[in-house]
Amino acid sequence: MSKNPNYRRIDFSEKLEILARLEKGESVTKLAAEYNVTHPTICRIKGKRKELEEYGSIITDKEGSLKKKRMNNMENQPLDVALFKWFHQKSLLGEPVSGAILQMKAIQINRMLKGPENFQASNGWLWSFSLINIGCLD
């Protein structure tokens, strides 16, 4: 990443806007100037179109913020998505979900999805999952 203070990182919603505008035929040079980023940055966004759109839909499904600037490395994405949906359903029903319950459910869902056999819903995993997906645990 350039240390040049004249350039900035753009958030996810802007990246999705850039993709939409590229699809409409706007030039890379024009977009780079408008968003105050380099030409290669726009080309990189264009090259990662599928990955960005996929991640954007996951964030939207989770009711997350498109103001993020980086994609989280979701190693076990199907588990995270399924567990978040389960958690969201329980929350809507007003049922309390503790960290221990989330950990047990994560192991159960991982088995159902035939995820990594060495998966452990450790306290570190729980902290990371809740930070990325939930924000905090009650």
Judge residue 37's burial from the number of C-beta atoms within 10 Å of its C-beta, 0-12 exposed, 13-18 middle, 19 or more buried.
buried
Q: What is the pTM of this model?
A: 0.49
Which amino acid is located at 3 in the chain? K
Q: Is the pLDDT of residue 52 over 90?
A: no
As a whole number, the mean pLDDT across the chain is 80
Does the domain spanning 77-134 belong to CATH 1.10.10.60?
A: yes
**Average confidence (pLDDT) over 21-28:** 93
Q: Is the pLDDT of residue 27 over 90?
A: yes
Q: Is the pLDDT of residue 112 over 70?
A: yes
Q: CA 66, CA 68: separation in Å to the nearest integer?
A: 5
Q: Does residue 57 or residue 16 have the better pLDDT?
A: 16
Contact predicate 126/99, CB 8 Å:
yes
